[in-house]
Amino acid sequence: MDNITEDANVSTDDMVRQRAFDCMTAIDNAVLYRINGINRPFGYGVSVYYPPYKNKYKSDYEDISFAEMNLWAEYLSSYLDIESNDTDEPSVDTGADDNTIDPNNPNSVIACTATITSVNDFDVAGVNFVLGKVSGAEIQIIGNINLPIGAIDVSNPPNFTIEPEINWNGKWFVIGDGGSNYLFAPFKSFDFAGVDEDGNNIYYAQMSAVLLPAGETDWSTEASTITLVFSVVTSTNSGEWAGEFISAFELSDTGPTPVDIKTGDKIKPIYQIITGGDAIEVPSSNSITLGVQGLDLGLLPVPAGDYKIGYTAVDYSENWGEDYADITVQ
């Protein structure tokens, strides 16, 4: 459904747009009842079990009545077996038209482009834009957001290349306490959710964080890992945007459980730290304490220093390719 929505709103081909809208209408007419979970607030349409990689496949799916009535489970098993034999990662070649940027200068923008080439036909499952701050031998990932492939230039065979482009102005998303305290938001997903009645694009973004309830002081025993969900609306005319906090949930063996964020709670974003090729997740050394205005979302210049910006690409066998450009923020 996401790809169809992208075609309907992004494609420049009138016939593709019309057919995508017709397909969306048919799907809407087929849905008799809908309920949204807290981790998919903008979910809609229909779905079918389709794990992205073999190690995500649950064999007990074969025992449910739907799988026993048709060949879907057999197809999944065969497809994922073929996929698991693929060991060739996508080729990623990132470039930038400048290596310095001043976030306080509105005319200072870096065009970060890439050529992503699939080795086995069109075998690219996802493309992410990545922003990382360099500190000695460490890279702290501030942003790692997925890009809609339907909105990226894709060549025809036999080349099968994808050419994303991000114009970065030296700023990034921050979460704040409604006052002057803020921390950079390491979003791990940024998904297109649809279009509102005014034609503006709606996205929902998620990030991991550690929550310490109000009144508690021990982060090691009283804190829990949660996911924060935000909505972001961007104007298709002016490019202006607005964001707000939607909900929070905690993952468990039985699925996501809602978490109530209250005044006095403390939050630490969780950043990915890369050292020598190894990646670990580490909570921020700083926290924000929620005030009466709750949790807000903003956009601020990143601190001066050395950064890496670029792209990662993953194929349908979970082989990853990556490449970055070195940038200095003034």
Residues with Cβ < 8 Å from 102, sequence gap 6 or more?
108, 170, 329, 330
Q: Which residues of 92-126 are buried (b: 16+ CB within 10 A; e: fewer)?
A: bebebeeeebbbeeeebebebbbbbbbbeeebbbb
The amino acid occupying position 62 is E
Query: Who wins on pLDDT, 218 or 242?
Result: 218
Residue 10 dihedral angles phi and psi, to the nearest 5°? -115, -35
pTM of the model: 0.76
Predicted confidence (pLDDT) at residue 107 exceeds the cutoff of 70: yes
Query: Who wins on pLDDT, 83 or 16?
Result: 16
Q: Which pLDDT tens digit goes with each residue over 224-255? A: 999 999 999 888 777 778 889 999 999 877 77
Q: Which residues pair with 273 in a beta bridge?
A: 140, 280
In the chain, % of residues over pLDDT 70: 85
Q: Which residues of 233-260 are buried (b: 16+ CB within 10 A; e: fewer)?
A: beeeeeeeeebebbbbbeeeeeebeebe
